[in-house]
Amino acid sequence: MHRRFYLLMGLMVALIFGDARAAGASQMVWSGLVIANNVAQPAEIPPELNRIEGTLKTWFGYNQFKVIGQSRKTLVTGSEDWLAASKYFSLHVDSKGETPAGYLLNLKLFQEKSVLLETEAKLGKKPLVIKGPQVGDGQLLLVLFVQ
């Protein structure tokens, strides 16, 4: 009977710790450089932007969104940095750590080698969209969200 008791207790502890570890498991952050414009025959929206398609169209008034650079970063410690880059732009993301409300991020948008825009943001469960400069007949957008 003692063996069964210890077995049960062990199982319970393993479940709790296993679950706790799973609950605190790493999360992935998607970062993208998006060119939005209006065309007669818009291409299908990239799958990463499906969840905010309506929002993007409503806020920015464009009907086509193309990803020109992206990055998927799995955050383990919450203090990592990464880069999403296209030919002329790059978005450097420096995660300063995880808070109960989300990841504290320092974002730098580079236009070639110049820092065009710098911002600090707390990235929660909801996406962050940054309106960048006008590019041709379109608009550069920076999109970040936790997957």
Partner 1 sequence: MKTFEEKWTAWLDGELTGDELAEFEASLPDKPAAEAEKRDAHKLGAFLKEQLQDRAMGNEEFFHHQLRERMAADACATNAPEQTTRPALWPIGRLVWAGAVSLAIFCVCTFFVIREKSPSDQSEYLTQVLNARVDPALGPNATISMFESKEEKVTVLWTEGLQSLPSEYATK
Region binding partner 1 by CB under 8 A among candidate stretches 38-46, 73-81, 135-143: 135-143
Query: For 21, phi and psi rounded to 5 degrees?
Result: -65, -40
Token reading at 54: 């309506």
**Contact (CB, 8 A) for 63 and 35:** no
Q: Are 116 and 134 in contact (CB under 8 A)?
A: no
Contacts with partner 1, 49-68, as mask; x by CB under 8 A:
---x--x--xx------x-x
97: left (phi over 0), alpha (psi -120 to 50) or beta: left
**Footprint of partner 1 on residues 63-102 (CB under 8 A)?**
66, 68-69, 86-89, 101-102
Contact 52, 67 (CB under 8 A): no
Stretch that binds partner 1, among 39-47, 74-82, 114-122 (CB under 8 A): 114-122
Length of the chain: 147
Query: Nearest 5 degrees, angle CA 144-CA 119-CA 106?
Result: 70
115 binds partner 1 (CB under 8 A): yes
Closest distance of CB 125 from partner 1, Å = 5
Closer residue to partner 1 in complex, CB, 45/132: 132
Identity of the residue, 20 or 76, whose beta carbon is nearer to partner 1 in the bound complex: 20
Contacting residues toward partner 1, per CB under 8 A? 1, 4-5, 8-9, 11-12, 15-16, 19, 23, 35, 37, 52, 55, 58-59, 66, 68-69, 86-89, 101-102, 111, 114-138, 140
